[in-house]
Amino acid sequence: MSDHDHDHHHDHDHSELSETQLRVRALETVLTEKGYVDPAALDLLIETYEKKVGPRNGARVVAKAWADPAYRARLLKDATPAIAEIGYAGRQGEHIVALENTPKRHNMVVCTLCSCYPWPVLGLPPVWYKSAPYRSRAVSDPRGVLADFGVTLPKETEIRIWDSTAEIRYLVLPMRPEGTEGWSEEKLADLVTRDSMIGTGLPKSPKDIAK
115 versus 180: smaller Cβ distance to other proteins: 115
**Of 58-66, 69-77, 128-136, 178-186: span binding other proteins (CB under 8 A):** 128-136
50 versus 186: smaller Cβ distance to other proteins: 50
Q: Where are the beta strands (DSSP E) in 57-202?
A: 95-100, 105-110, 158-163, 168-173
CB of 56 to other proteins, least distance (A): 12
Q: Please give the size of the binding site for other proteins, defined by CB under 8 A.
A: 86
Task: Render 144-209 in DSSP notation, one character per residue.
Answer: HHHHHTT----TTPEEEEEE--SSEEEEEEPPPPTT-TT--HHHHHTT--HHHHHTSS-PPPHHHH
Interatomic CA distance for residues 188 and 184, integer angstroms: 6
Three-state DSSP at 85 gives helix
Q: Which of 2, 15, 115, 131 is catalytic?
A: 115
Q: Which of 18, 114, 140, 205 is catalytic?
A: 114
CB of 83 to other proteins, least distance (A): 12
CA of 137: how far to CAs of 16, 83, 105, 147, 151, in Å?
Answer: 28, 30, 19, 12, 15
Of 2, 15, 103, 182, the residue at the interface with other proteins (CB under 8 A) is 2
CB of 156 to other proteins, least distance (A): 7
Q: Is 184 a catalytic residue?
A: no
**Site residues (CB under 8 A) for other proteins, limited to 139-198:** 139-143, 145, 148-149, 155-168, 195
**Site residues (CB under 8 A) for other proteins, limited to 31-70:** 31, 33-38, 40-46, 48-50, 54
Contact by Cβ (8 Å): 144, 150: no
73 versus 133: smaller Cβ distance to other proteins: 133
Active-site positions? 111, 114-116
